A and B are shown apart, each in its own frame.
Chain A
Amino acid sequence: MISTVLNTEIGATRGASPLRKHKSISIGFCLLACLLILGALLVPGFVSPQNARSILLLAAFLGLASVGQTLCALVGALDLSIPYIIGGANILLPSLMVAGLPAPVAMIVVLLLGILVGACNGALSFRLQGQALIMSLGLGFAAVGAVQIYTSLGSQFGGTVFAPVPGWLRNLSAFNGKFFGLPFPPVIVIWAFIAVALGWIMHNTWFGRSLYAVGGSRTAAGRLGISEFKIWTVIHSVSGAMSALTGMLLLGFSGGGFVGVGDPYLFTTVAAVVIGGTSLLGGAGGYGATVLGVLVLTVLTSLLVGLGLSFPAQQAVVGLLIVPMVAIYARSPHIRNQI
């Protein structure tokens, strides 16, 4: 199943990509294969439908959260508001439903708010460029603070919201969810669909090509009549929307709203983008690469869990592996060769 998802991914990104990306993608594949073989040899029960399902489920959340980070990285920005929007959406949705909004309406409201925060983020941080990540951090703080004020007015539980989660939402992203009778949660399909669609958009539309143009050279993009501001705002809005979506889907996974649910996504999204091979300075990479990065990261974590490592040890190992993994394909030329 992993390979089918991956094949569609790669099929979508193979199109008109530069040589460098092919290299990073083939290396990513080798890495993934090595990890799977290692897992099969070292951990009993690693190659099983259950494990594949749980890996893909966790990868789907990380993958959805990384959409915005990838797009931002492509123009040289970082979005630090992602964990806060995820946390905010995760508690806002149940509290809107408690307030009496029907679930679909509540979800649309949350999604729109996510887009709004993202759009503000993009519009306000455009002039800051290099400093944009602090703007996203500030807006993230403001947004999650506002949501928490709203949800905790009239209740004494700050940070957690108790509400019955509708069955279909739970089915969407819980471990034992069913996709039209098939034994895997639909969120994996949602992720695959978004990944393929995004891969197509990035390579076949004016918007996608403009994104690479801006990331590659701002001056050249400007001469082509590409509005840098528009691109910048749109990708931040997409990032906000995807974060809100991830937050809402995580509600179905965990069964209760908790504002801290997004916290791990602050640096793991960056790590997934980096491992995939998208340059944080912009211009090179793509979402297909991030999908590989997400899978490598999730399989690696699952392998380390299987080997009995504690969470801190997993974090340390992942950190130690990032530099060698990136060094294989993303070494910058020596300064004397840059002149």
Chain B
Amino acid sequence: MMSVTAFRQVTQDRSLFVPAGLFLVLLCAVAFRGQGLFTNNGLAGAILVATPLILTTLAITPIVMAGRGAVDLSVGPLMGFVNVTLITWLVGNGITHPVAIIAWAVGLGAAFQLVQALVIIYVRVAPIIVTLSGFLVLSGVNLMVMSRPGGVAPDWMLSWGAGTSVFSPVLLLLLGAFAIWGVLRGTMFYRNLRMTGADERMAYTSGVQVDVVRIIAHMVGGVFAGLAALSYTALISSGDPTQGSTYTLQAVTALVLGGASLSGGRGGALGSTLGAINMFLISYLLSTFNFGTVSGFVTQMAFGLILVGSLLVNVFVISRRTVA
């Protein structure tokens, strides 16, 4: 059922052509290079590694869709912030109950994004500046909360990171996020969100409460960021204050690879997910080659070139659409 709707979306929305095509190409290449991914363990590991990126990409999707060039740069450090506070403040003080942990992660993510949304709306500073400020503040605070990677995840979470079964709790997190998105898609909010992103003035004059839409978009993003932090904590089984900037850049890249427009209006969960999975497949594929001592650099260069290439294909598809 789900795959049928996904298929229909791909055939209808041309911005999904490139990510879907790239996904198929990468899948074939991976099948050719190393079948390790298609075993039970390989797939379980892949889900474990890819989920934080998929969820961070989902976290910035509604915020970018709300328009005004609102690329949320703070998402990576926000995920890191939830991660380090979870380990230091909660687990460090003996609070390990799953409900408390999950509520903290989701609540903190949503609360931070609420603050950002309120600043954007009432202080009326460009969103990218507000999120840049959030990025700097949280990057600093993360290192103040935890000066170097360390700590341990709660006991019940340790088994999450084992990566031995496809149907792990991490997959549940992912499915939970998709379920939230699926519910949202059917609501009035989703239509208003797309309208606000495409043309905010028109939306405002048509009676859409653009401020409310923006607040909800940010809070949904915050919830996803909290879920991303949970999956990240499961992946590394500890706290790490240093990965914020990496995840921000990767998430924005995955979003663009998934066919979303950074200027708003265009985008969605399916595209973002495909973009994030493609990012994962590219790095997986590159890791199957062995270039000796320069391996890391070849990976970096190839990654950059693939990025450039798929963006160019994107341009080609989009420009053909405007001609047609």
Contacts and interface: CB of A to CB of B under 8 A. Distances in A.
A, B co-complexed: yes
A322 to B, nearest CB: 4
Contact of A271 (B136, B201, B210, B319): B136
A142 interface: yes
12 contacts: A125-B311, A128-B311, A130-B69, A137-B307, A138-B304, A141-B301, A158-B296, A280-B69, A314-B140, A315-B136, A323-B119, A331-B124
A285 interface: no
Interface string A131-164: 1011101111111111011001100101000000
A134 B314 CA distance: 12
Interface of B: 69, 73, 119, 123-126, 128-130, 132-144, 147, 200-201, 204-205, 210, 245, 249, 252-253, 256, 261-263, 293-294, 296-308, 311-312, 314-315, 319
B153 to A, nearest CB: 23
B308 A139 contact: yes
A47 B125 CA distance: 34
B270 to A, nearest CB: 18
B121 to A, nearest CB: 9
B139 A315 contact: yes
B247 to A, nearest CB: 14
B205 A339 contact: yes
A334 B294 contact: no
Interface of A: 80, 124-125, 127-131, 133-135, 137-146, 148-149, 152-153, 156, 158, 266-267, 270-271, 274, 279-281, 310-320, 322-323, 326-327, 330-336, 338-339
Contacts of B252: 133-134
Given A134-B252, A158-B297, A338-B201, A312 B307 contact: no
Contacts of A339: 201, 204-205
A192 to B, nearest CB: 27
A193 B112 CA distance: 43
Secondary structure call for the B interface: helix
Given A153-B294, A323-B129, A335-B201, A139 B304 contact: yes
A281 B220 CA distance: 26
A324 to B, nearest CB: 8
A124 B304 contact: no
Contact of A135 (B201, B298, B311): B311
A266 B147 CA distance: 22
Nearest to B249: A137
B204 A312 contact: no
A322 B133 contact: yes
B133 A323 contact: yes
Contact of B123 (A311, A319, A323): A323
Shortest Cβ-Cβ A-B pairs, 10 listed: A145-B301, A319-B136, A141-B304, A316-B140, A142-B304, A138-B307, A312-B143, A315-B140, A319-B137, A145-B300
Given A149-B301, A158-B294, A131 B262 contact: yes
Interface of A is mostly: helix
A326 B129 CA distance: 8
Contacts of A149: 294, 297-298, 301
A215 to B, nearest CB: 14
A273 B12 CA distance: 41
Contact of A148 (B210, B297, B311): B297
Contact of B311 (A134, A143, A152, A271): A134
Which of the listed residues A129, A281, A312 has the most CB atoms from chain B within 10 Å of its own CB? A312
Contacts of A141: 300-301, 303-304, 307
A322 B210 CA distance: 25
A152 B294 contact: yes
B294 A142 contact: no
Given A124-B308, A312-B140, A331 B296 contact: no
B128 A148 contact: no
Nearest to A314: B140
Contacts of B245: 266-267
B308 A135 contact: yes
A320 B133 contact: yes
A162 to B, nearest CB: 16
A283 to B, nearest CB: 13
A322 B294 contact: no
B301 A124 contact: no
A323 B130 contact: yes
Nearest to A145: B301
B136 A331 contact: no
Contacts of B128: 280
Contacts of B119: 323
A331 B302 contact: no
A331 B121 CA distance: 10
A316 B141 contact: yes
B126 A332 contact: yes
A136 to B, nearest CB: 10
A142 B137 contact: no
Nearest to B303: A141
B253 A134 contact: yes
Contacts of B142: 312
Contacts of B124: 327, 331-334
B73 to A, nearest CB: 8
A280 B129 contact: yes
B144 to A, nearest CB: 5
Contacts of B73: 267
A138 B262 contact: no
Given A312-B144, A319-B135, A330-B125, A138 B298 contact: no
A4 B148 CA distance: 43
B132 A274 contact: yes
A3 to B, nearest CB: 28
